[in-house]
Amino acid sequence: MTVHEQVEERPPAPGDAAEGPRTSELEGRVALLVGAGAIGASIAAALDTAGAEVVIADVDMERAEAVAESTRSRSAVSLDLTSAQGCQSVVDDITARFGRLDIVVGSAGVQYVAPIHELPPEQWERILRVNLTGPFLLMRAVLPVMYRARWGRIVNIASAFALVGVANKPAYAASKHGLIGLTKVAALEAAPFGVTVNTVCPAWVRTPLVLGQVADLARTRGIPESEVESQVMLGPMPIHRFIETSEVAKAIRFLCLPSSGAITGTALVIDGGWSIA
């Protein structure tokens, strides 16, 4: 069974993920973006064009640097999201360098396609560790910084599969459902300090990670690969198309703006109508 990891995606070349004209909406703010895959590159561009200083973090430093090259700050750090010490060290280093850390966006994730009775227990544990424990460890490290500043924005990327059931992705769906619950708790705790915590829940986004799942989905569903996109991926979506990375990135930028301070604990669904069909 093939393992698909978001951290394995190759980012666009510098400049490919441009997100419109530069503004000053986030001028003076410092943002940490975790995950340098295709979605991460688009988010980096969106935050950069809004005026934020963006630091790119990934388990692969080369990948992080490739995305960072397209931003003004050109800042990249290596981060093992599953390490409490690693998360704390990155937060400490950024605050020491910039004097603040205002925004955290979590875009890293892993998954494994298999039914429950075939899912190796070590894959279950790995997926929960990266997709759910990792965001917890990062929030644990950064929330005190934001509390002291009395301002902050945290956006966790969940999935449409955090809202609906999906066959053959038990660990992935469980981790994303859990991420929404964790985000709600964090939002309640952070609200008195001017910190918002939200999730974004996209359906199938047009990325190498998604397109690379066709063979696994065909095998587990028992259908030809040629039918996977129309039946499995896009079939449940009334808006019958892939979500673009820029659509996800612009939604995240919106949640990071000062004007979005009354939005917290929510799951912003970008699923083409899947969850309401």
In a domain, 229, yes or no: no
CATH number for the domain spanning 32: value is: 3.40.50.720
Q: Determine the structural domain holding residue 15 and report its residue range.
A: 3-209+238-270
Residue 73 located in a structural domain = yes
More confident residue, 82 or 6: 82
pLDDT tier at 19, thresholds 50, 70, 90: low
Where do we find the tokens 């060290």?
A: 89
**Is 90 contained in some domain?**
yes
> How many residues are listed for the chain in this entry?
277
Residue indicated by tokens 């290596």: 78
The candidate with the shortest Cα–Cα distance to 257, out of 46, 8, 15, 34, is 46
| Neighbouring residues of 220: CB distance < 8 A, sequence distance ≥ 6 | 113, 114, 115, 167, 168
Percent above pLDDT 70 for the chain:
90
Mean pLDDT throughout 107-129?
A: 94
Q: Structure tokens of 59?
A: 């388990």
Phi, psi of 178 (to 5 degrees): -65, -35
217 domain-assigned: no
User: In which band, very low, low, confident or very high, does the pLDDT at 162 lie, cut at 50, 70 and 90?
Assistant: very high
Report the interhelical angle of 245-256 vs 38-49 (nearest 10°).
40
**Confidence band of 130 (pLDDT split at 50, 70, 90):** very high
Reported pTM: 0.87
pLDDT at 22: 79
Residue 220 within a domain:
no
CA distance 202 to 158: 7
**Does 277 map to a domain?**
no
Candidates 112, 124, 172, 274; catalytic one: 172
* Cα–Cα nearest to 38, from 59, 61, 66: 66
Q: How confident is the model at residue 84, as a pLDDT?
A: 98
The answer to whether residue 80 sits within a structural domain is: yes
Structure tokens at 105: 């966006």
Higher pLDDT, 258 or 21: 258
Q: How far is CA 177 from CA 47, 183, 184, 226, in A?
A: 26, 10, 11, 30
As a whole number, mean pLDDT of residues 55-80 equals 95
Judge contact between 248 and 39, C-beta under 8 A.
yes
- Segment 91-105, tens digit of pLDDT: 999 999 999 999 999
The domain tally of the chain equals 1
Residue 276 lies in a domain: no
What mean pLDDT comes out for the span 128-155?
98
- Is 172 among the residues known to form the active site? yes
